[in-house]
């Protein structure tokens, strides 16, 4: 099976890394060549870390890298399963899938890594909507075990089954989820971020104290450290999506503080600054 990943950001690069680690020939795509090179650098860096820790031999790391190739031309993006990990924007995802449908065989699985946009909406307008399925990884994708498999209204059962089996072949724990706002994890976890931001907005406590309190309660990471890891911009986009999908229910209201961070380009670890500062 040949795998392709569209989008070379941290999430897309992590998915591509998971794929080559499992022995799949993998194509990584991005329209931005600098983003593609950054994605390749991320993959090499993570493999080097594994070698340094004794989890991989240098030879094994090199054999994994040999499975990876990169392209900036969408017409070269042909595979048996393609996972998009582009911006959390319905129009961008629909446009990409229309382009992919035009250059791939009818059997190609078109998987979306969306965090919150309904699979049914993404598949709308395609000639073969039955082959669109949600395959939602969590950041960092090559480490986190859970993968949600989401079927839209027209997703073929066999497509969902093959996607589930592929995720399991990566060493992941796959679960089926309904095509509902936020699916499982983002629906449950959304208020972990939203309430933390509300406390900060109301000046009840500084963000460092909020994080420490949550971590002292048993969470591995406080909401602000976790948003920085996920990407402040990505987290904000998901909250905005869910706010609209739930009819602009006030309890999902995106935070003004988070919007300001996004506008300033403070996107978290990937940009070197989010709610915290990060040194290389």
Return d(Cα 77, Cα 4) in angstroms, integer.
7
**Catalytic residue at 41?**
no
pLDDT at 280 over 90: no
Asked whether the beta carbons of 193 and 227 are under 8 A apart, the reply is yes
Determine the Cα–Cα distance for residues 245 and 238; give it in Å rounded to an integer: 10
Q: 1 with 24: CB under 8 angstroms?
A: yes
C-alpha 157: how far from chain center: 23
pLDDT digits (tens, 9 = 90+) for 91-109: 999 999 999 999 999 999 9
Measuring CA to CA, which residue among 111, 117, 161, 106 is closest to residue 132?
111
Residue 113 falls in the annotated catalytic set: no
Query: pLDDT tens digits for 66-87?
Result: 999 999 999 999 999 999 999 9
Considering the candidates 104, 139, 163, 186, report the single residue annotated as catalytic.
186
Chain Cα centroid distance, residue 22: 18
Residue 262 φ/ψ region, left for φ over 0, alpha for ψ in the -120 to 50 degree band, beta for the rest: alpha
Percent of the chain with pLDDT over 90: 96
CATH number for 185-270: choose from 3.90.1150.10, 3.40.1030.10, 1.10.1040.50, 2.40.40.20.
1.10.1040.50
**What is the Cα–Cα distance from 36 to 212, expressed in whole angstroms?**
36
pTM of the model: 0.89
3-state secondary structure of 109: strand
Q: Annotated catalytic residue: which of 19, 104, 113, 115? A: 115
Q: Among residues 88, 136, 139, 151, which one is catalytic?
A: 136
Q: Which of 101, 139, 148, 163 is catalytic?
A: 148
Q: Could you tell me which CATH number the domain at 2-177 has?
A: 3.40.50.720
Q: pLDDT tens-digit profile of 191-235?
A: 999 999 999 999 999 999 999 999 999 999 999 999 999 899 999
115 included as an active-site residue:
yes
Structural domain boundaries in the chain:
2-177, 185-270
Average of per-residue pLDDT across 254-274:
96
Tokens of 239: 């909250």
């Amino acid at each position: 099976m040949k795998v392709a990943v569209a989008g070379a950001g941290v999430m897309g690069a992590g998915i591509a890394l998971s794929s080559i680690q499992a022995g799949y020939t993998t194509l990584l795509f991005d329209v931005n060549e600098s983003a593609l090179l950054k994605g390749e650098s991320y993959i090499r860096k993570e493999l080097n870390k594994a070698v340094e820790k004794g989890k991989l031999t240098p030879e094994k790391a090199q054999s994994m890298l040999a499975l990876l190739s990169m392209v900036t031309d969408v017409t070269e993006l042909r595979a048996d399963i393609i996972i998009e990990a582009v911006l959390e924007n319905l129009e961008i995802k629909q446009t990409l899938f229309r382009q992919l449908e035009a250059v791939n065989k009818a059997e190609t699985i078109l998987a979306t890594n969306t965090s919150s946009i309904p699979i049914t909406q993404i598949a709308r307008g395609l000639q073969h909507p039955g082959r669109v399925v949600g395959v939602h990884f969590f950041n960092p994708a090559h480490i986190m075990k859970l993968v949600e498999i989401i079927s839209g209204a027209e997703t073929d059962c066999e497509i969902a089954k093959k996607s589930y089996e592929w995720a399991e072949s990566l060493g992941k724990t796959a679960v089926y989820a309904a095509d509902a706002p936020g699916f499982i994890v983002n629906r449950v976890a959304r208020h972990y971020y939203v309430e933390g931001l509300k406390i900060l907005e109301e000046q009840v406590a500084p963000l460092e104290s909020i994080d420490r309190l949550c971590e002292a309660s048993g969470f591995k990471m406080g909401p602000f450290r976790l948003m920085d890891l996920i990407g402040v911009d990505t987290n904000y986009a998901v909250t905005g999506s869910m706010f609209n999908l739930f009819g602009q229910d006030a309890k999902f209201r995106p935070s003004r503080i988070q919007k300001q961070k996004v506008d300033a380009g403070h996107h978290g670890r990937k940009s070197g600054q989010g709610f915290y500062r990060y040194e290389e």
